[in-house]
Amino acid sequence: MSVIGTSVTRKEAPNKVTGRARYTDDVNVPGTWHAVMVPSQQAHARIMAINTESAQNVAGVKAVLTGCDVAILTGDVIEDRPPLAHEKVRYWGEPVALVVAHDEASARRAAGLIEVRYQPLKVVNSIQEALAANAPLIHERISEYQVATPPAYPKRASNLADEANVVKGDVDMVWEQSAIRVQVRVKLPQVDHAAMEPRVAKAEILADGRVLIHSNTQAPYEVQKLLAKYFHLDPGQIIVQVPLIGGAFGGKATVHLEILAYLASKAVGGHAVKIANTREADLASSPVGMGLEADIGLAATKDGRLMAAKMRYFMDIGAYADSAPRIARAIAAQCTGPYKIEHLHADVYCVYTNHTYTTAFRGFGHMPMTFAIERAMDELARTLHIDPLELRERNALAPGDTTPTQARLTRSNLGDLPLAIDHMRTLIHWNGPTPRVVDDRHIRATGVAAFWKTSSSPPNAISGAIVTMNGDGSVNLSIGAVEFGAASKTTAAQILAEQLRIPLERVFIREEVNTHVDPEHWKTVASLSTYMVGRAVLDAANDLIRQLKDLAATVLRCSADDLDYGNEKLFVRDDPSIQLKFSDLALGYKYQEGDSIGGQLMGRGHFMIRHLNLLDQETGQGRPGPAWTVGVQAVEVEYDRMTHQYQILTAASVIDAGRVINPAAAVGQVMGGMNMGLGVASREVIHYDAQGQFLSNQFRTYRLMRVGEQPQEYRVEFVETPQVDSPFGARPLGEHGVLAIGAALANALSSAAEVPLNTLPLTPEAIWQARRRRLHYDTV
């Protein structure tokens, strides 16, 4: 029997095709009240006065809160964000006040009556404006902020929330000595996660002091910890429940609405209160994905060996830091892409602007970082007249090499990029990057790009699993990972089934997570659930097997070492006819005389990340994650030279997935990732006007891919180099489809349009402009 490597149907599938799958806003306590936020209509302004009187008088209104009522600062890394704007607003859409009413309509009506008098301040509308001399300070008291989770180094009297640096080798000397140098400057706008389910949170404070939170968070245990910290509660008092989540992509890993829901409930005596984002609020008020501008310099030998790199990254983190310092370190630690560069210097800056604040976005900074390095790699290939796949293969990191932060690489923790590249050649019938003319207007070109990514998890991230047995020998699995579509629950159940040698149908797993009963899992992020939860599940399974054997050994009067198991039975290895069923032991064993021993069997397992450390402030030295996933992606486009429109013909990925646990689910994750990455690269952009107003707050202004716009064909293949310390050798896979596909698109279009395309999104207009600038530049 093998459940691993089999395309099983996700456990919750029947519920999802019948409308029976329940999400946070599908089940509400009758009589729940509603909180509605008042968003700022200014991007940067001093709050002079807030008049709540007419709002208070609306029938049904129970409370109105403003920043003056909430004297705390919140933040994952740097505590810089008031839950409700206090004294000033720092982005358009920032919550300024909160209205609680019996029903949503009354709350909304009252929210509309709140008058906020602003004194506008000069808006910091770009990275350049933030870094300019005499730039207005977004956080005047930056030097007073607490760093809750070091490291982070806010720079006093500046708009720099943090800076991360990596230094390796002797970059200046090698740079000067190198034969070939290329420079690329890339610019990527802020983008949105656009999960189909908007964020929602509910809070209720019971008379006994317990706080019930329901929300669609990726980080229920973080919600528990932070609420306890901010409001001086015992963690055990706070119970966070998370049912199925309608997409997350990193955007639900930060604690945002939960704080507002708690404040709202507290203001009305603990009554159950819900705050549900409209799509407009979900886009403009809740955090988005960062923008990035980067200068990448690569130095190489004439035969294309990378020698040195100089890199500077400026992240548009928006008005508050949230997880930006962690993302900056992820970018710094992986800045070379999956290539060996022994001499490098990389600086990553977290730049405050008056844009919506940002948080993790699928890939945790690796997608924009990969875009930068992979555009530079293609420019290098073009300059050297070397096949771009060949260039990448020649420079691929290998076991024995070290990462930019000098972490040692092994076959197990790195995987095999050259093998993936080799598979890609066959998969897309690679003929090199030279465009092929279709007719007098249309031209076809293929671009490639490679990636690597690690988890950037904290060095003490933990996970757990509890397995209880039912009387019939089936098992219930309890884990702390939430289900937002990546099949994390099903994967955990597969791992348990495999280890217990039972059919998957005999493993029952709840769709929701409850922090009160499920063992803690750090956060359902970083594609880490298979590794972390999986290890905990294996540990729990082994614990359960030990208990089964011990009890069976007593009953069968043998040593536990004599026993083996299978088909839901324990049997004596040398005489399998001496056996007991799991069901005979699950709730204790009952002898014929009626007396019994044992009790319910329950396995417990845990896992803690090991051997990671925080990166050194000066050099960045340290180990940022347990292992890397490597892969290569390709895009073939047909480009219209007259209109600059293009069709994506093929999108392809070859990823070293270690052991693939659920092939169909894995292919789906990667295909979906490619579609998202192509959407981000081709059309997604958050626009702000000159006053910093958020202009892309609906799906008709924030445009996502629709049916018919996706690639005509997807190709996905895996190579399987086991990650030895991961369950069955599986590598993280959930985010990776997005990572290099946008770079591959830009590389394809740069070939087709014969102009470097380093700015996203790649709209026909952007291509036209780039060509026009090039033409202008060439003739001047």
Give the footprint of other proteins on this chain (CB under 8 A): 9, 12-23, 25-28, 30, 193-198, 244-249, 278-279, 484-487, 664-665, 667-669, 671-672, 674-676, 698-700, 704-708, 710-711, 714
* CA atoms of 105 and 258, how far apart (whole Å): 21
Least distance to other proteins, CB of residue 219, Å: 17
Query: Which CB atom, from 385 or from 706, has the smaller least distance to other proteins?
Result: 706
Least distance to other proteins, CB of residue 534, Å: 19
Query: Which CB atom, from 218 or from 254, has the smaller least distance to other proteins?
Result: 218
Query: Which CB atom, from 17 or from 207, has the smaller least distance to other proteins?
Result: 17
Cβ atoms of 501 and 565 within 8 Å: the answer is yes
| Alpha-carbon torsion angle 426, 429, 430, 433, nearest 10 | -160
Query: Which CB atom, from 455 or from 675, has the smaller least distance to other proteins?
Result: 675
How is 537-549 classified by DSSP, letter by letter?
A: HHHHHHHHHHHHH
| Alpha-carbon torsion angle 669, 610, 617, 159, nearest 10 | 40
Cα-flanking dihedrals φ and ψ of residue 624, to 5°?
A: -85, -10
Query: Which CB atom, from 243 or from 620, has the smaller least distance to other proteins?
Result: 243
**Residue type at position 38:** V
* CA atoms of 448 and 712, how far apart (whole Å): 17
Query: Which CB atom, from 249 or from 565, has the smaller least distance to other proteins?
Result: 249
Beta-bridge partners for 183: 297
Residue 624 gets which letter from DSSP?
-
Query: Which CB atom, from 197 or from 347, has the smaller least distance to other proteins?
Result: 197
Nearest to 513 by CA among 151, 214, 144: 214
Query: Which CB atom, from 117 or from 687, has the smaller least distance to other proteins?
Result: 687
Query: Which CB atom, from 464 or from 737, has the smaller least distance to other proteins?
Result: 737
Least distance to other proteins, CB of residue 482, Å: 11
Cβ atoms of 451 and 739 within 8 Å: the answer is yes
- Residue 127's CB: how many other CB atoms inside 10 A? 22
Q: How many CA atoms lie within 13 A of 743 on its CB side?
A: 29
Least distance to other proteins, CB of residue 737, Å: 9
Cβ atoms of 190 and 127 within 8 Å: the answer is no
Nearest to 694 by CA among 36, 136, 251, 125: 125
**Residue type at position 155:** K
Least distance to other proteins, CB of residue 613, Å: 34
Nearest to 527 by CA among 498, 487, 555: 487
**764: three-class secondary structure by DSSP:** helix
Query: Which CB atom, from 6 or from 554, has the smaller least distance to other proteins?
Result: 6
Least distance to other proteins, CB of residue 288, Å: 14
Query: Which CB atom, from 487 or from 572, has the smaller least distance to other proteins?
Result: 487
Query: Which CB atom, from 192 or from 539, has the smaller least distance to other proteins?
Result: 192
End-to-end CA distance of the chain: 71
Query: Which CB atom, from 362 or from 644, has the smaller least distance to other proteins?
Result: 362
Least distance to other proteins, CB of residue 18, Å: 7
Cβ atoms of 342 and 175 within 8 Å: the answer is no
Least distance to other proteins, CB of residue 220, Å: 17
* CA atoms of 130 and 43, how far apart (whole Å): 14
Least distance to other proteins, CB of residue 28, Å: 8
Least distance to other proteins, CB of residue 686, Å: 16
Enumerate residues 6+ apart whose C-beta is below 8 A from 663: 5, 6, 7, 718
Cα-Cα-Cα-Cα dihedral sign, residues 732, 733, 739, 741: positive
Query: Which CB atom, from 18 or from 434, has the smaller least distance to other proteins?
Result: 18
Query: Which CB atom, from 14 or from 269, has the smaller least distance to other proteins?
Result: 14
Cα-flanking dihedrals φ and ψ of residue 717, to 5°?
A: -140, 150
How is 190-235 classified by DSSP, letter by letter?
A: -B----SS--EEEEEE-TTS-EEEEE--S-HHHHHHHHHHHHT--G
Query: Which CB atom, from 192 or from 374, has the smaller least distance to other proteins?
Result: 192
Enumerate residues 6+ apart whose C-beta is below 8 A from 338: 392, 396, 397, 417, 450, 451, 452, 628, 630
Least distance to other proteins, CB of residue 692, Å: 23
* CA atoms of 415 and 705, how far apart (whole Å): 32
Least distance to other proteins, CB of residue 460, Å: 29
Least distance to other proteins, CB of residue 720, Å: 20
Measuring CA to CA, how many Å separate 265 from each of 105, 187, 524, 736? 18, 42, 27, 39
Query: Which CB atom, from 155 or from 279, has the smaller least distance to other proteins?
Result: 279
Least distance to other proteins, CB of residue 499, Å: 25
* CA atoms of 336 and 348, how far apart (whole Å): 13
Query: Which CB atom, from 218 or from 395, has the smaller least distance to other proteins?
Result: 218
Residue 270 gets which letter from DSSP?
T
Return the CA Rg of the chain.
27
Find the farthest-apart pair of alpha carbons in the chain and give their distance in angstroms, rounded: 101
Cβ atoms of 714 and 341 within 8 Å: the answer is no
Least distance to other proteins, CB of residue 663, Å: 10
Enumerate residues 6+ apart whose C-beta is below 8 A from 647: 637, 638, 712
Least distance to other proteins, CB of residue 249, Å: 7
Cβ atoms of 509 and 477 within 8 Å: the answer is yes
The 3-state secondary structure of 633-688 reads EEEEEEEECCCCCEEEEEEEEEEECECCCCHHHHHHHHHHHHHHHHHHHHCCCCCE
| Alpha-carbon torsion angle 108, 110, 111, 112, nearest 10 | 90
* CA atoms of 44 and 29, how far apart (whole Å): 38
Least distance to other proteins, CB of residue 250, Å: 12
Least distance to other proteins, CB of residue 697, Å: 10
